[in-house]
Amino acid sequence: EMQLVESGGGLVKPGGSLRLSCAASGLTFNYAWMNWVRQAPGKGLEWVGRIKSKGSGGTTEYTASVKGRFSISRDDSQKMLYLQMNSLQTEDTAVYYCAAVRDPTSFSLISWGQGTLVTVSS
Amino acid sequence: DIQMTQSPSSLSASAGDRVTISCRASESITNYLNWYQQTPGKAPKLLIYSVSNLQSGVPSRFSGSGSGTDFILTINNLQPEDFATYYCHQTYNTPRTFGQGTKVEIK
């Protein structure tokens, strides 16, 4: 069974940095395309970005509001996904989910972690 | 960016009802449309991928249809565990985008 477990959330001041981690099990991680999705309190889902598998180029893409501030990386040997968040703003406050792509045709998100809360506040 | 608009934003229904939720894309996304269910405090769960394909383990009372810009999620014989928020999600291009969600509440 696929399992994703996020960690690293917490309280950070505006302008600060935080790195989120996502530990994967039950999937062939090195082939998986991985995404980060966030959800502000009481709001809907917002796609943050994704990283392709290394075999597909390992490239990353981001939503405009985080481009240049957030960076996604992966360590296939450890089955770990990361989200480095810099220059955090109050509007980045959200639960952050990592999610695995089901297949390279639908690109739907088949498995999600439980989420980790990031609060940006002074 | 492709905008996804769901309607209604919320609805009230009773167990046993048939419910339809619409999702409209701001441009054609062919069949790159997925649906998720989210209950409070939980992560989203994939229900349907590529418009109409039921994810393994999802009850057959859920179905999806549509193409291009207009899509529908149908829930037949609504069950107590179906009261949740539903999101559509386009994967035609990046940035990926979600609809704003439709909350299905108990009447």
The answer to whether A40 faces chain B, any CB pair under 8 Å, is no
Q: How many other C-beta atoms lie within 10 A of the C-beta of residue B69?
A: 17
Between CA B57 and CA A102 the distance in angstroms is 14
- DSSP E strands: which ranges in B3-107? 4-7, 10-13, 19-25, 33-38, 45-49, 53-54, 62-67, 70-75, 85-90, 97-98, 102-106
In the prediction, which pLDDT does A78 show?
A: 98
Among B46, B94, B101, beta carbon nearest to A61: B94
Q: Read off the DSSP letter of residue B82.
A: G
pLDDT band with cut points at 50, 70 and 90 for residue B24: very high
Of A47, A23, A50, A38, the residue nearest A91 (C-alpha): A38
- Give percent of chain A above pLDDT 70: 100
Among B94, B96, B100, beta carbon nearest to A44: B100
Q: Are residues B1 and A97, on separate chains, in Cβ contact within 8 Å?
A: no
Q: How many CA atoms lie within 13 A of B44 on its CB side?
A: 31
Q: What value does the mean pLDDT take over residues B38-59?
A: 98
Q: Which of chain A's residues have a Cβ under 8 Å away from the Cβ of B46?
A: 102, 108-110
In the prediction, which pLDDT does B87 show?
A: 98
Token duo for residue A86:
């810099």
CB contact at 8 A, B84 and B36: no
Among B87, B95, B100, beta carbon nearest to A64: B95
Mean pLDDT of chain B, nearest integer? 97
In the prediction, which pLDDT does A16 show?
A: 98
In the prediction, which pLDDT does B48 show?
A: 98
- Give percent of chain A above pLDDT 90: 99
